[in-house]
């Protein structure tokens, strides 16, 4: 159990950083004069590079060892926190966030297969419990930020060194097991076959988009898709497989799942600020606390519904929660809506990991971590940026109608959807009081509208999960796949 708790604390450390950064984004936006799209880009780069490291390590982690990956994560976390603290403008803030995301992905790359291997007879339960560490870290980060809100942001963010140091000291003495796939004698090519040509096409397309964004290559959606297709065809020929159809269905849902959970969480304090003011960050903390408790006691819930049944129920509740968040007003009503949303999203990610570990064990670390990678890539490159883009466009449209936009317009930000309009904070501050209030009113309206747009994502997931539920029911019910000797 010492190894499990070391993995748990490593995940707590990653989300502690995530929670503090999410709660600080409004403050950083003022300090560095960030537009909504700038904020979306920085919040997104805090997530999608996660996929680059998780994919890279998933290909080689069984050969280089889990501890090597863990040490890389530690180096990334220490370096990234230092870079962020030294930031003087958007550039270093962006790259510090990028490096911490690489570290976060590496943590996921080793903790998930380790726990799935150690608890191979009850994977869904223990992966849910493991991922209680994610919301637990967010709670600690947000609450700490509120308790010490009077301190400079650099002091508060500097506290991220503490949980990183703790997990470093816990991980280094531990001995790691041989992964289940390797122990069962499943070949490397058989692992790749589970993902197949289509799976690698999707992953390759998103990775190329991420690299294009990182190096300002200017590649469009279709150019990136073309390169992804080349990667998919090549690996499809090598493996002789298009991919496991059930795995591909799960893979397609992941960008929607990640944007529903992580994308909304990232924006939650800022979106709820008009309703809850300075306490908006506490809504994220409450949501995360509820998730921590529910995941920690996930065993009986998973056994009662089965992983697929739990995904169906969770997606339905998430749809309702987001719709309610986008319509209600008033502190108490908003907190009740946040509670409903939190219950809906609680088991989506962790139960998906459990289902993948139980249904596709031949895929080893690659399938288990691949779904997380595709989810975070899709959310960071597309979902988070799209949230900011649509908000910017709608705000600019209403301000133009009110005759205000031209006087407060900032420099447009390029996105994959086109140039996003922005507002210059200094110009907004110079407006007459009535017009400044109008700007904030319009911003508040479209922040709430973001939740209603988000509800379409778990609605799509619900349709997919119902398809999976029907498939397993036709086969006599959900049963985990076990690898025996010689598989």
pLDDT of residue 487 exceeding 60, the answer is: no
How does DSSP classify residue 442?
H
Burial 167-203 (b: 16+ CB within 10 A, else e): bbebbeebebeebbbbebebeeebbbbbbbbbbbbbb
Distance between CA atoms of residues 14 and 134, nearest Å: 7
Mean pLDDT value of segment 200-226: 87
pLDDT given for residue 435 in this prediction: 87
Residues forming a β-bridge with 155: none
Q: What is the CATH number of domain 2-393+448-474?
A: 1.20.1250.20
Between 239 and 288, residue with greater pLDDT:
239
Which of 200-204, 372-376, 423-427, 443-447 has the highest mean predicted lDDT (pLDDT)?
200-204
Question: What's the predicted TM-score (pTM) here?
Answer: 0.86
pLDDT digits (tens, 9 = 90+) for 20-67: 887 788 788 888 888 767 777 787 677 778 888 999 999 999 889 999
pLDDT given for residue 416 in this prediction: 74
- Would you place residue 261 in the very low, low, confident or very high pLDDT band (cuts 50, 70, 90)? confident
pLDDT given for residue 137 in this prediction: 92
pLDDT digits (tens, 9 = 90+) for 464-485: 999 999 999 999 999 999 886 4
Find the helix packing angle between 49-64 and 188-214, rounded to 10°.
150
pLDDT given for residue 266 in this prediction: 64
Lowest-pLDDT range of 186-190, 344-348, 386-390: 386-390
Q: Is 24 in a helix, a strand, or coil?
A: helix
Mean pLDDT value of segment 87-91: 84
pLDDT of residue 298 exceeding 70, the answer is: yes
pLDDT given for residue 271 in this prediction: 62
pLDDT digits (tens, 9 = 90+) for 123-163: 999 999 999 999 999 889 878 887 888 888 899 999 999 99
- Would you place residue 89 in the very low, low, confident or very high pLDDT band (cuts 50, 70, 90)? confident
pLDDT digits (tens, 9 = 90+) for 303-330: 899 999 999 999 999 999 999 988 887 7
pLDDT given for residue 214 in this prediction: 72
pLDDT given for residue 85 in this prediction: 92
pLDDT of residue 175 exceeding 50, the answer is: yes
pLDDT digits (tens, 9 = 90+) for 428-456: 888 888 888 888 888 878 777 888 888 99
pLDDT given for residue 73 in this prediction: 97
With a pLDDT cut of 70, the percent of the chain lying above it is 94
pLDDT of residue 179 exceeding 60, the answer is: yes
Domain ranges of the chain: 2-393+448-474
Mean pLDDT value of segment 83-96: 88
Distance between CA atoms of residues 58 and 456, nearest Å: 31
Between 46 and 263, residue with greater pLDDT:
46
Other residues' Cβ atoms within 10 Å of the Cβ of residue 317: 21
**For the chain, what's the residue count?**
487
Contact of 371 with 251, CB cutoff 8 Å? yes
The residue behind tokens 């997606």 is: 315
Give start and end residues of each alpha helix (H) in 33-65. 36-45, 49-64
pLDDT given for residue 221 in this prediction: 81
pLDDT digits (tens, 9 = 90+) for 17-31: 877 887 788 788 888
pLDDT of residue 241 exceeding 80, the answer is: yes
pLDDT given for residue 486 in this prediction: 45
């Amino acid at each position: 159990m010492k190894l499990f708790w070391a993995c748990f604390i490593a995940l707590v450390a990653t989300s502690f950083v995530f929670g503090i950064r999410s709660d600080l984004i409004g403050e950083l936006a003022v300090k560095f004069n960030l537009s909504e799209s700038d904020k979306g880009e920085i919040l997104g780069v805090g997530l999608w590079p996660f996929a680059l490291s998780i994919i890279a390590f998933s290909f080689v982690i069984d050969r280089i060892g889990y501890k090597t990956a863990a040490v890389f994560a530690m180096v990334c976390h220490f370096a990234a926190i230092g870079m962020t603290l030294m930031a003087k403008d958007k550039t270093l803030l962006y790259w510090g966030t990028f490096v911490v995301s690489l570290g976060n992905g590496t943590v996921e790359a080793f903790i998930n297969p380790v726990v799935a291997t150690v608890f191979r007879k009850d994977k869904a339960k223990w992966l849910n419990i493991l991922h209680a560490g994610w919301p637990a870290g967010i709670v600690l980060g947000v609450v700490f930020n509120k308790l010490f809100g009077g301190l400079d942001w650099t002091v508060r963010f500097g506290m991220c060194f503490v949980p990183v140091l703790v997990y470093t000291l816990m991980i280094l003495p531990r001995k790691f097991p041989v992964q289940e796939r390797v122990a069962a004698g499943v070949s490397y090519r058989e692992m790749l076959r589970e993902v197949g040509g289509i799976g690698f096409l999707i992953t390759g397309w998103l990775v190329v988009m991420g690299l294009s964004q990182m190096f300002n290559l200017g590649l469009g959606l279709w150019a990136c898709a073309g390169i992804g297709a080349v990667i998919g065809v090549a690996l499809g020929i090598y493996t002789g497989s298009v991919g496991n159809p059930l795995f591909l269905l799960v893979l397609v849902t992941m960008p929607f799942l990640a944007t529903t959970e992580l994308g909304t969480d990232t924006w939650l304090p800022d979106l709820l600020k008009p309703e809850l003011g300075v306490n908006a960050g506490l809504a994220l903390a409450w949501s995360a606390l509820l998730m921590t408790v529910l995941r920690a006691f996930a065993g009986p819930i998973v056994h009662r519904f089965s992983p697929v049944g739990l995904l169906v129920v969770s997606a339905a509740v998430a749809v309702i929660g987001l719709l309610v968040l986008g319509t209600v007003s008033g502190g108490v009503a908003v907190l009740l809506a946040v509670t409903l949303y939190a219950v809906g999203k609680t088991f989506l990610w962790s139960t998906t990991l459990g289902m993948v570990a139980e249904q596709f064990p031949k895929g080893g670390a690659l399938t288990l971590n691949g779904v997380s990678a595709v989810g975070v890539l899709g959310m960071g490159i597309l979902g988070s940026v799209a949230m900011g883009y649509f908000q910017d466009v709608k705000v600019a449209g209403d301000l133009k109608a009110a005759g205000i936009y031209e006087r407060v317009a900032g420099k447009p930000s390029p996105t994959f959807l086109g140039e996003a309009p922005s507002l210059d904070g200094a110009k907004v501050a110079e407006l007459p009081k009535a017009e400044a209030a109008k700007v904030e009113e319009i911003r508040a309206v479209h922040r709430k509208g973001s939740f209603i747009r988000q509800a379409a994502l778990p609605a799509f997931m619900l349709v997919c999960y119902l398809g999976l539920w029907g498939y397993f029911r036709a086969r006599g019910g959900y049963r985990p796949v076990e690898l025996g000797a010689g598989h």
